[in-house]
Amino acid sequence: MKLLFTKNYCYLTLCLVLFLSGCTLPKPIKGAVVSAREEASAIGVAIMKQGGTAFDAMIATDLALTVCYPNAGNISGGGFFMYRTAAGEVGSLDYREKAPLGASSDMYLDKEGNIVPNKSTLGGLAVGVPGTVAGLVAIHKKFGTLAWEDLVQPAIDLAREGYLVTEKQQRSFESKKETFIALNGPDTLYAQGFQAGDRVQNTALAETLERIAMFGKAGFYEGPVADDLVERVRETGGIITHEDLLAYEPVWRDPINFQYKELNIYSMGPPSSGGICLGQILKMIEPYDVGQYEHNSVEAMQVIVEAERRSYADRSLYLGDPDFIQIPKDSLLDVDYLNERMNSFTFEKATKSTDIAPGTIQWEESEETTHYSIVDPMGNAVAVTTTLNGSYGSKVFVEKGGYFLNNEMDDFSSKPGVPNMFGLIGGKANAIAPQKRMLSAMTPTLVERNGKLAMVVGTPGGSTIITSVLQTILNVYEFEMDVQSAVSAARFHHQWLPDVVVFEPGRFDPALIKSLQDKDYNIKEEYSRIIGRVDAIQISDSGEITTGADPRGDDTAVPLF
Ligand code: GLY
């Protein structure tokens, strides 16, 4: 491609200039970790410097995020792990939370059958059975090369020594302070209201991590850590029991695999909607050759928005936990079906979402999740998206253990067909049932080109996850950006319902917005939610590694030389 040629040409020119001036060449990057926090990325790279693989680095990075990124990093939530080994084997692990054994489809409804506000988002009843520690242990069992306790130790040290609060974090803590006090009491760790530059030491979390280091899965799901978790859930109105914790198992699942032009793409399958929706949208876009248009031009945006609209409509009807419902995966990704879906699209005028699918089924997810991408010098690659769901999950803090509990139960449809307290609606496929996993949008993704790993990418952002991953891939492969520019570029989002195109405020030309409005698109430009915080790694055909860390957050790429 043009970019590849340009980059190689630049590199050769640089080599020549450096050679003629007697300087040494910049060292090539051999691996990298890109995550939401510099500390976590650096810890992952330190593990690789000790000879660890991307799999070892993943465990250390994940646990470090638990310490220094407590709004989304977690031992008490869940996530999805996509991997590609140096030999080209691709797979995924689902360690999504599950509904407790005592859960029921109407657990968030009152006697009249109405949704009780806050019940599925705040407090103990919002908590799903955590999957993260079981997931990390399963990954270590299958792929780990360094000792488990050596991978947990950096997070223990970080918790004891403390991490420095950033300005963005200070704002985040301030915005939740009242809720932390109301739910957990004024003397608990995060009710203190830390300021930028403060050092947060979390001895209780260090002790929890020490038990996890010593006893692995049992260190979290059994013994005193489990006792404290169950007690805290119960005293805040929840129903998770020891039986729930003991029953939790992660599941190795086949990833979703599809082609987009010369790219071979792998992404997460159900219970995440990420892979299927990403595949649907890209396959609907493919015949339009969006690269022929300018980046973020009216035409390119119309094609992307209309494909998104159609895919998100399907999502709400067909997707949920594959262990509980039949998902017509092949039909949803069938090229003829997808081409037919786009038949009603014209460049003249916006399609109306009500014309795409009758009824009012809608969904959305909250915005606080985190993603990291890793490649190692051996050629292994890992893409992980993990979450507590809301920022700081249910806001319930287990003071004795030093961590927040998730509120992943809100990703279920509390009442199929009826909006929840955020005005969101879900389908029957995603109704609550004991032991069921709630539908996700998390989209950890691996891209191959010419049979080789080409990109590792993912993001937080609730329902905007899929469209942010999509735009990053298109920015690189259709609009010929380097990966950092692709990550930083202004983004937009459409999810069928509500029928609005959401723009990052102030980043789009008013003339472009006016052109879309003239074609009957409803526009929302004022700030309402994040549109992704993408962390990505690109590997060129010649093996050159470049990184993209999202400037919207504190995200940082740490290279391994
Ligand atoms: N809770 C965010 C997601 O799973 O997509």
pLDDT for the residue 355: 86
- 168 compared with 20, residue with greater pLDDT: 168
Cβ of residue 440 lying under 6 Å from some atom of ligand 1: yes
Q: What spacing in Å lies between the alpha carbon of 282 and ligand 1's midpoint? A: 21
pLDDT for the residue 415: 81
Closest atom of ligand 1 relative to the 96 alpha carbon: 4
Cβ of residue 389 lying under 6 Å from some atom of ligand 1: yes
pLDDT for the residue 6: 43
- 94 compared with 15, residue with greater pLDDT: 94
Burial of 474 (0-12, 13-18, 19+ CB in 10 A): buried
User: Which residue is closest in CA terms to ligand 1's atom 4?
Assistant: 440
Q: Which residues are 557's β-sheet partners?
A: 34
Residue 361 predicted with pLDDT over 50:
no
Across residues 131-158, what is the average pLDDT?
A: 98
- 78 compared with 354, residue with greater pLDDT: 78
Q: What spacing in Å lies between the alpha carbon of 347 and ligand 1's midpoint? A: 32
Dump pLDDT digits (tens) for 461-507. Answer: 888 999 999 999 999 999 999 999 999 999 999 988 889 999 999 89
Cβ of residue 462 lying under 6 Å from some atom of ligand 1: yes
**Model pTM score:** 0.93
pLDDT for the residue 525: 84
Dump pLDDT digits (tens) for 212-241. Answer: 999 999 999 999 999 999 999 999 999 999
Across residues 333-358, what is the average pLDDT?
A: 89
pLDDT for the residue 473: 98
User: Which residue is closest in CA terms to ligand 1's atom 3?
Assistant: 440
Contact 33, 557 (CB under 8 A): yes
Across residues 235-256, what is the average pLDDT?
A: 98
Percent of the chain with pLDDT strictly greater than 70:
91
What residues are annotated to the active site? 369
Q: What spacing in Å lies between the alpha carbon of 469 and ligand 1's midpoint? A: 14
Substitution candidate for ligand 1 out of 367, 384, 438, 440 with most atoms within 8 A of CB: 440
**Three-point CA angle 172, 176, 180, nearest 5°:** 135
pLDDT for the residue 457: 98
Question: What's the per-residue H, E or C state across 14-68?
Answer: HHHHHHHCCCCCCCCCCEEEEECCHHHHHHHHHHHHCCCCHHHHHHHHHHHHHHH
Burial of 321 (0-12, 13-18, 19+ CB in 10 A): buried
Closest atom of ligand 1 relative to the 390 alpha carbon: 1
From the list 428, 95, 482, the residue with the least C-alpha distance to 272 is 95
Q: Which of the residue ranges 41-45, 502-506, 509-513, 539-543 would you say has the lowest mean pLDDT? A: 502-506
pLDDT for the residue 498: 85
Residue 13 predicted with pLDDT over 70:
no
